[in-house]
Amino acid sequence: KKYGVNELREMFLHFFETKGCLRLNSFSLIPHNDNSLLIINSGMAPMKPWFTGQEIPPRRRVTTCQKCIRTGDLENVGKTARHGTYFEMLGNFSFGDYFKKEAIPWAWEFLTEVVGLDADRLYPSVYVDDDEAYQIWLNDMHIPAERIYKFGKEDNFWEHGSGPCGPCSEIYYDRGPEFGNGPEDVMGGEGDRFMEVWNIVFSQFNNDGHNHYTDLAQKNIDTGMGLERLAVAVQEAGSIFDVDTLKSLRDLVCTLAGGISYEQPGTEQTDVSVRICTDHARAMTFMISDGIMPSNNGRGYVLRRIIRRAVRHGRKLGISGSFLTKLAENVIAESRDGYPELEEKRDFILKVIQAEEDKFEKTYEQGMDILQEMEDRLEKEGSKELSGEDAFRLYDTYGFPLDNTREILEERGFSVDEAGFQAAMKHQKDTAREDRKKSGKSSTYMGASATVYEEMDP
Ligand code: ATP
Ligand code: MG
Ligand code: MG
Ligand code: MG
């Protein structure tokens, strides 16, 4: 049966409740008391104190569906079948309670019996030195040895920033030969045929932030499965942008772009922009609903970059005028079952998006024209690299985030002098600071922006 995304979320949480887990709501995307992380990027991130033993969890078994943002995947989005900057991570967690012998069979039971995936299309991987996990897959789950992959630290040792970490066992789903070659090419690589769906982490170490590992007082389980990826497998969808909830948003993007077609011969370029708009609309809606506001630094700047990138790809698709609030309304409609707060904060979310979109729209066309002039000049000079000063001017005067400029240039075969950009930024900051010292005031001729430069984060 082809379960929908909202159904799958409920099935997962319910299944782990039957295993004794306490169901908790998703935590906010804004980390609480954790300076090592800008935005929550996994189910375990908000629970670090429960893993380390610093705080007592409400129960030793917990299950959640956590909103996640991964800025590190910004460049993957639209290009792979499996990455979003925003996604939901299903997880079950043990704080010094159940361990490998339970976590592995339960994951298998959920995938093969509850949602009914074909066991022959699932491939586990283990950390190369983790014989215990290997034996469980081999002897308890009866997976043939040649189907259990052993990988090194890069793939099968999970850690994000400081805190709890450990070896892991992952489950890949074979989407079929139409998505690539055989297992020899793609397992653990960047291919999309074998898609990683679930990561089961045996978190038993603590990283102090300087790669000094110590044993945690307790052995924990931390698992994470992308809800959208699970839906790809269950619905036999071509990518996360084809699962039910995202497809409706994706269709709306195509409609707003004047009814363009998607994934037809010759549409490869616009397909990427359609997917980026789809993903970024989700990311911005959830970020704002958790109280992140567009700004020039930190989380706020991640949001600003996401909104501006969506605007640019919308323009590439030929959408004129503002369109992001229309996408946000669709996100709210598709996700309010799981996240009722979206409905409550609807007006606020739409207002923030509209304001940020208006702000960028004012300078966008001008900035694009200036960039075109810059490119023409480079062309004449026979150069392929935009100077740091020029990139900084686009940033400073026209509000073009560096990654935006880089992306546009790349599409046209140019690069940007990023070190030069940083130098120009530093020069601007230093000048502002000097001027402030001289005048003895907190801001000078640059007005309010003088203080802002202190915090900019391109
Ligand atoms: P990949 O190798 O495919 O980038 P990952 O190893 O970075 O994934 P984990 O850190 O192990 O992912 O996260 C646990 C699970 O969360 C993954 O197995 C996957 O199902 C899901 N996931 C991770 N990143 C994304 C993303 N950008 N978009 C959607 N789902 C994701
Ligand atoms: Mg990844
Ligand atoms: Mg991986
Ligand atoms: Mg992984």
Cβ 159 under 6 angstroms from ligand 1: no
Same domain as 69, residue 193: yes
Q: Is 91:44 a contact under the CB 8 Å cutoff?
A: yes
List the one residue out of 29, 27, 30, 67 whose CA is nearest residue 47: 27
Q: In the listed set 378, 399, 416, which residue is the last one of a domain according to the structure?
A: 378
Cα–ligand 1 centroid distance for 89 (angstroms): 8
Measured CA to CA, the distance from residue 199 to residue 84 in angstroms comes to: 17
Verify that 211 and 228 share a domain, yes or no. yes
Contact of 388 with 419, CB cutoff 8 Å: yes
Question: Measured in angstroms, how far is the CA atom of residue 170 from the centroid of ligand 4?
Answer: 7
The number of beta carbons lying within 10 Å of the beta carbon of residue 345 is 19
My answer on whether 413 and 307 are in the same domain is no
Q: How far is CA 51 from CA 28, 166, 205, 218, 236, in A?
A: 18, 12, 10, 8, 35
Whether ligand 1 lies within 6 angstroms of the CB of 199 is answered as yes
Is the Cβ atom of 157 under 6 angstroms away from ligand 1? no
Section 29-46 average pLDDT: 94
What pLDDT does 26 receive?
97
Our answer on whether the CB atom of 41 is closer than 6 Å to any ligand 1 atom is: no
Averaged over 189-198, what is the pLDDT?
82
Cβ(226) – ligand 1 distance below 6 Å = yes
Pocket test for ligand 1, best of 9, 83, 156, 159 (most atoms within 8 A of CB): 83
**Are 374 and 389 members of one domain?**
no
**pLDDT surpasses 60 at 186:** no
Q: Is the pLDDT of residue 403 over 80?
A: yes
Q: What residues are neighbours of ligand 4 (ion), with CB under 5 Å? A: 199
Specify the amino acid at residue 327: L
Mean pLDDT calculated for residue range 13-31:
98
Say how many domains are in the chain.
Answer: 3
Cα-based distances in Å from 372 to 85, 391, 421: 29, 12, 18
184 in the same domain as 55: yes
For residue 47, what are the domain limits?
5-235
Q: Are 418 and 402 in contact (CB under 8 A)?
A: yes
Q: Residue 161: what pLDDT?
A: 73
pLDDT (0 to 100) of residue 442: 45
Percent of the chain past pLDDT 70, that is, above it, reads 93
Q: Which residues surround ligand 3, an ion (CB under 5 A)?
A: 196
| Residue 263 and residue 143 in one domain | no
What is the pLDDT, as a whole number, of residue 184? 60
Whether the complex's predicted ipTM surpasses the cut of 0.95: yes
Q: Are residues 450 and 347 in the same domain?
A: no
Residues β-bridged to residue 207: 163, 213
* pLDDT level of residue 189 (50, 70, 90 thresholds): low
The answer to whether 44 and 222 are in contact (CB under 8 A) is yes
Residue 195 Cα: closest atom of ligand 1 = 3
pLDDT at 53: 86
Average confidence (pLDDT) over 64-93? 96
